[in-house]
Structure 1
Amino acid sequence: MTIIAPRRAGLLALALAAAWTAPPAWAEIARRTPEGMAEIQLSFSPVVKAAAPAVVNIYARRVVTRRPSPFAGNPFFERFFGQAMPQGRRVENALGSGVIVTGDGLVVTNHHVVGDASEIRAVLADRREFDAEVVLSDPESDLVVLRLEGAENLPALELRDPESEGVEVGDLVLAIGNPFGVGQTVTSGIVSALARSRAAPGGGAGYYLQTDAAINPGNSGGALVDMQGRLLGINTAILSRSGGSIGIGFAVPSALVRQVVAQAEAGRSTLARPWSGLSGQPVDGAMAEALGMASPEGLVISKIHPLSPFASAGLARGDVILAVDGRPVGTQAELEFRLAALGLGETAEVAFLSGGTARAASLALASAPETPARDPRALVGRTPLGGLTVANLNPALAHELGLPLGTEGVAVVEVARPTGRAGLRVGDVIRAINGRDVANAAQLERLARKGPYPEEVRIERGGRHGVLRFRR
């Protein structure tokens, strides 16, 4: 039990009375009833009318080849299983949404909606239909740019960068798309977070705008717009245990969408990203204390490639990257997003801590270098390695294959079926053959062609080392 002294009780009673008789202004505003028909009829419809015509429904068809049943063609088994016998090819249909970003028919959608599709069709809000072809595809960001064949003078959405143009957590937003194939649907919510780093649908790391506007299957590739009908992001993923929306949705920010569209208009078929050439980890409380920082912020560099533009700008292992062009950096995904949104050929200003001292540097953004040369070699002959294509690893190839920063050696870049059955995969790094270390692709070709039959091949896969043994 809490006992309050008489004097303190009296003061407390006066304070409570004052608080009760004079409610704060925000409480009065929050609780007042609408005044007049104008306020009762407030609606999102003007925003929807402006934005919805630029959101399209996407229908994609792809032919999937699967391994035929070993019993296919056998009259005995077909007699019992009939049409249930697995076939070698089947057609899959995908459903999603897209956003028109230029009047001449460029549409942005998700890679997981149209990836590998043989037929793509877009249906506008006014029911016009267009065949579409892929102009640029980027599985890493899960974005694709389509061109609508024969389209002109289409409604297009203006892009708004959530960070540079004043978007804040709590701002109202609308999600427009085609959930579950029911037709164009609009849901409302707020911006829940401006910066979320999480696993991307394609398996990589992504950087997202988070919203609680309902996003469901079929909304993928649709628009997240502000109250002026401007595009904040492309709806891409949801966090859900049931497959339905629970109010945690993610959109690719329009800053990256703008870069993807610009490169598509320039004629590129893939997104060219600046190379960071480093890996790091977010600064936590213990790390901040060890580094003498007042609070945990930034990304501490744990590994940096000698050819990295950050190394050329004077950064080193143990330095903490705080911001790129004035925008904070807290994770590896956030850093990669900042660079990708800026684009190749640009100059970025980097704020960082080195030895506890705040510093700044400028770095030129460029793609990963092709040093040393790949020098691809196709291995032939009666050998378990026959059918492989191998190449020298360099930063560009290592990034393409998803290998850790600084991985060197000779990598498998193509695998024919016979070698695939031997257990080798694209991305495997061949370290030695019959106890002899492999230095480059040319040496590996000589060993496979002239050396003894490879009875033992030492490889590295996913950071683990293993040995493949073969018999004559």
Structure 2
Amino acid sequence: MVRAVLSFSKVLTLAFISAVVLLPLASVRAETRVPQSQAEISLGFAPLVKQAAPAVVNIYAKVVRQTQQRSPFMNDPFFDDFFRDFTNPRPRVESSLGSGVILSADGIVVSNYHVVGMATEIRVVTTDKREYDAQVVLADQASDLAILQLDGAADLPFLALRDSDKVEVGELALAIGNPFGVGQTVSSGIVSGLARSGTASGEGFGYYIQTDAPINPGNSGGALIDVNGDLIGINTRILSRSGGSNGIGFAIPANLVREFVKQAHDGAEAFQRPWAGMTGQPVDADLAGSLGMNLPEGMVISELHPKSPFAKAGFEVGDVITEVDGEVVNSPSEMVFRMSVAGLDGISEVTRLRGDRRETLKVEMYAAPNDPPGESLVMNENSALPGFTVGLINPVAIVRLQLPLSASGVAVLDPGPFAGRAGVKAGDILLAINGSLVAAPQDVPRLLEEAGRRVRFDLNRRGQRVSLHMRR
């Protein structure tokens, strides 16, 4: 009986050692090695947790929202103005709970935008019960990331950022956070997928590390670490029909976090990502056949703005982009991620496939240019339509208003109170006023004056022609 138990123990030990031997080298700071004794095996992840957990914090955020009572005359064109003052907005305080990761000894913390991005009050609590007020120094809803600065912090434990492009499927991973507000919790699993896009809910661009380490509500903003205690991602979302963890969680890669920290350190007020000035689609089997490719790979350019940095570098519609800075690109979301990581004012090496010729070109990374100059024109209080703001469509306006790359002419930047009530929205392309074409922002004041009391706006709204009428 004793011999059988010993044999079973040896089998377990050999199995564990085999698993560890297969682990990749995860950090330049430490080398993965085979456990040297039964005592090391029995410790499990305890030393790793003791090292990393103090750098993961709990975040308590409050958001004050203005809510307005609904008037029974809200949509009545006559009574609405009379009863407007009787439905004053009332403040409502909403609380949220999440996690964050300390990245520097002086209190730089990263979390999710959906945890702290709109917060009016943020309180951060460390594992040793120290509490700090915090301020958001850089946040981006599209990436679902936010950088915080803790007030008066010093000598804090922090995690190092690993190169997330070196992470491999099958690596062991730990998720650390505060699920359901029960206190700091650690869950283990593996990296089960890379470059996941379009699978997690939320505001992110959809480029994630996938893990089966359980992630639950409250884990958002917490750490996903490797076997050396380095940060490989920020836990952000789960894929679940019930709201609980089903073993499919997603983390924002550490390389994007690194760029956020850099821009926050440089004093950026908003996260800046290079402008691609293109649209594209993944190359599937059918598309690969029509392009004469042996295997589907990359992203084919379907539209290219003439001022795009890719157009400037020599790319054309129909070219297939396969790599950016040596990393594989297979979808628009991967393209956005690679350019975001590259940052502004640099040069990236982009590999394209044109026919059977593969070559690498250098592409400048810059923000959407304000070319031609797109100064806005605001109608003043004494004008025909106070607050109505328009501007010339250029690359900056295309990005800001999320317009098609082919958009041109004059766009509505702010409808103001009166045109907004008539249904005009920011981002509408202004085609005509009372049948007279709008060619430049300077045409708008004159056409509104000539329109009299009845105004008809002819608009292009997301490719649909819309006509709206209002009476002044």
Task: Find out whether 1:90 has 2:92 as its counterpart.
Answer: yes
Aligned to 1:399: 399
Aligned to 1:22: none
Aligned to 1:46: 47
Change (3 A) 1:32 1:300: closer
CA RMSD, Structure 1 to Structure 2 (Å): 2.5
CA distance in 2, matches of 1:86, 1:424: 24
Change (3 A) 1:457 1:381: farther
Aligned to 1:107: 109
Change (3 A) 1:428 1:203: farther
Aligned to 1:17: none
One-letter code aligned to 1:348 = S
Percent identity, aligned pairs only, is 51
Matches of residues 77-156 of structure 1 in structure 2 within 5 Å? Answer: 88-156=90-158
With normalisation by structure 2, the TM-score equals 0.86
Are 2:175 and 2:215, in contact at CA under 8 Å, matched by a contact in 1? Answer: yes
Are 1:291 and 1:356, in contact at CA under 8 Å, matched by a contact in 2? Answer: no
Are 1:69 and 1:86, in contact at CA under 8 Å, matched by a contact in 2? Answer: no
Change (3 A) 1:377 1:35: closer
With normalisation by structure 1, the TM-score equals 0.86
CA distance in 2, matches of 1:199, 1:186: 24
CA distance in 1, matches of 2:171, 2:178: 23
Greater mean deviation of Cα atoms: 461-470 or 307-316: 461-470
Cα deviations by residue, 1:222-249 (Å, 9 ceiling, x for unpaired) = 1110011100011111111111111111
Report deviation, 1:48: 0.9
Change (3 A) 1:87 1:340: closer
Are 2:422 and 2:469, in contact at CA under 8 Å, matched by a contact in 1? Answer: no
- What secondary structure, in the 3-state scheme, does the structure 2 residue paired with 1:455 have? strand
Are 2:143 and 2:203, in contact at CA under 8 Å, matched by a contact in 1? Answer: no
The gaps in structure 2 that reach 5 residues or longer are 1-10, 19-34, 73-86
One-letter code aligned to 1:101 = L
Report deviation, 1:467: 0.8
Report deviation, 1:382: 8.1
CA distance in 2, matches of 1:199, 1:447: 47
Report deviation, 1:436: 1.7
Are 1:386 and 1:419, in contact at CA under 8 Å, matched by a contact in 2? Answer: no
CA distance in 2, matches of 1:248, 1:199: 10
Matches of residues 155-234 of structure 1 in structure 2 within 5 Å? Answer: 155-163=157-165, 166-198=166-198, 203=203, 205-234=205-234
Aligned to 1:279: 279
Cα deviations by residue, 1:306-334 (Å, 9 ceiling, x for unpaired) = 11111111110000001011101101110
One-letter code aligned to 1:197 = S
Greater mean deviation of Cα atoms: 96-105 or 457-466: 457-466
Report deviation, 1:385: 4.3
Report deviation, 1:271: 0.9
CA distance in 2, matches of 1:91, 1:150: 26
One-letter code aligned to 2:60 = Y
Are 1:273 and 1:340, in contact at CA under 8 Å, matched by a contact in 2? Answer: yes
Report deviation, 1:87: 7.0
CA distance in 1, matches of 2:449, 2:199: 42
Report deviation, 1:200: 6.5
One-letter code aligned to 1:95 = L
Report deviation, 1:38: 2.4
Aligned to 2:64: 63
Matches of residues 11-26 of structure 1 in structure 2 within 5 Å? Answer: none
Are 2:159 and 2:230, in contact at CA under 8 Å, matched by a contact in 1? Answer: yes
CA distance in 1, matches of 2:67, 2:209: 37
Change (3 A) 1:145 1:204: closer
CA distance in 1, matches of 2:241, 2:151: 38
Change (3 A) 1:254 1:348: same
Greater mean deviation of Cα atoms: 406-415 or 57-66: 406-415
CA distance in 2, matches of 1:382, 1:244: 56
Aligned to 2:328: 328
Greater mean deviation of Cα atoms: 142-151 or 384-393: 384-393
CA distance in 1, matches of 2:449, 2:324: 50
Matches of residues 460-471 of structure 1 in structure 2 within 5 Å? Answer: 460-471=460-471
Aligned to 2:429: 429
- How many pairs align? 433
Report deviation, 1:95: 0.8
One-letter code aligned to 1:38 = A
Are 1:177 and 1:223, in contact at CA under 8 Å, matched by a contact in 2? Answer: yes
Are 1:102 and 1:154, in contact at CA under 8 Å, matched by a contact in 2? Answer: yes
CA distance in 2, matches of 1:375, 1:403: 17
Change (3 A) 1:200 1:433: farther
Change (3 A) 1:203 1:128: closer
The gaps in structure 1 that reach 5 residues or longer are 1-25, 72-84
Report deviation, 1:463: 2.5
CA distance in 1, matches of 2:402, 2:301: 19
Are 2:208 and 2:251, in contact at CA under 8 Å, matched by a contact in 1? Answer: yes
One-letter code aligned to 2:71 = P
Report deviation, 1:449: 3.7
Aligned to 2:30: none
Change (3 A) 1:69 1:455: closer
CA distance in 2, matches of 1:189, 1:153: 31
Change (3 A) 1:199 1:138: farther
Report deviation, 1:28: 10
Aligned to 1:296: 296
Matches of residues 324-363 of structure 1 in structure 2 within 5 Å? Answer: 324-363=324-363
CA distance in 1, matches of 2:238, 2:449: 51
One-letter code aligned to 2:119 = A
Change (3 A) 1:87 1:273: closer
One-letter code aligned to 2:170 = G
Are 1:384 and 1:419, in contact at CA under 8 Å, matched by a contact in 2? Answer: no
